[in-house]
Amino acid sequence: MSGIVGIFSKKKYKNIFPDLYSALYAIQHRGQEAMGISLLSHERLSEIRGKGEIANNIGLDNISTLAGNVGLAHAKYMFAEDDRSLLPMPWMFYPKNSDHKNLIAIDGKFFDKNSPEEIVNNLNSKNEDEIIEYVNKLNGVYALLIVSGKRMIAVRDHYGIKNLCVGKNDDNYIVASESCAIESIGGQICHELKPGEIYIVDDDGEKSYFSKEISNSPCIFDFVYTARPDSYINGVSVYDARIRMGEILYKEHPVDADIVVGSPDSGLISAVGFSRASNIKYERAIVRNRYINRTFILPTDSTRQKGIRIKLNPIKHLLEGKRVVLVDDSIVRGNTVKRVIEILKESGAKEVHIRIASPQVIKEENYTFDVADKEHLISYNRSVEEVRKIIGADSLGFISLEGLREACGNKTYYENCFDGFNPLERK
């Protein structure tokens, strides 16, 4: 679930770095383990790539070194099998059939051994039919961007699992993993790439070609957790979907309580929906330390546990003697919710009822986020009641898969981790 952004400006002497930098910041939530920004100006490359977040790598001492009228940026989420010695993308190659340097950034994985250099070489063909034929064979779950001084190419996988959207800002053409990246720099959203779409922009304008489409199934977990609430996916507002999740969650699992609390930050919006549907007062009774990032995507159990302990702090007088409904986005390993329940009860909560705005995660997933072994999943091979006992809740309810689909507009989605629809099983 890495984040990628590409910007192409026809104005050869324009510096797009400020926009590229800001757009990458807007999707920092998609990857915190490494970042990269690379720009080209008249074939001159300037770049910064490194481990950690943007702020760890770009500062007053090096920001003036970055300039170009085209460029790519990458916020990296690492999977367990990734080679951690490699610097993050964008990577640069000299294609066999081009005189121009090319940058490439990829979010996702390929089923076959398709190297980034091979992809750059094949997508630099001057023959449009050859490009389409190659993309037809480029199987995987991916979104990719290639940019040179002459053009930018964006490709979305045939299954539509990875998202890519196109926008414009003055004379800039922008492609990004989420719409919020485009809007954060004053851009206007033009369209989401269709599955198998090959979008190309150059000095003559923009055009699209279409390879095969197997399905249009964005990852439904983006609505639950990954995406920013101000993004749109599949034409659906992530914010509105999360409100509906909370409303449907109360309908499916009502409870008597005194206050509704959202687990910061990805459970907050569904908690508002739950409060509206139930008429139970909503309170922001847990404060999140803004300097601690998303614990779910930290690489090891030990770092996740440490992150949880310093990430959240209760407002005790709001909790003392209260029957609390805690709404969270999901339970994957169970570390976070178990610790939050302990915090609430230590703060005087009389009861803690957990409501989860997604179904039980019961299958491993290694294309959109990384749960390599189902044995790490607290809900694998366990009933809801067994999970409730492990985490120490007074009651526990998960939204149904049908309810989640309804919240997300009753469209087709990639639902593998919930043992739902998976177009990859048809390949």
Residues flagged as binding site for Mg(2+): 266, 328-329
Question: How does DSSP assign 63-130, residue by residue?
Answer: GGG---SEEEEEEE---TTS-TTSPPSPEEE--TT-SS-EEEEEEEEESS---HHHHHHHHT-S-HHH
Give CA separation, 222 vs 231, 329, 373, in Å: 10, 11, 21
Cα 302 to chain centroid, rounded = 23
CB–CB of 180/232 below 8 Å?
no
425: DSSP letter: G
The 3-state secondary structure of 280-296 reads CEECCCEEECCCCCCHH
Nearest-angstrom CA–CA distance, 154 and 178: 14
Q: What would the two tokens of residue 93 be? A: 């190659």
For residue 253, give the 3-state DSSP assignment: coil
Nearest-angstrom CA–CA distance, 302 and 304: 5
CB–CB of 190/177 below 8 Å?
no
Annotated binding site: 266, 328-329
CB–CB of 323/353 below 8 Å?
yes
The CB density around residue 62, as the number of other CB atoms within 10 Å, is: 11
Nearest residue to 215 (alpha-carbon basis) of 187, 196, 242:
196
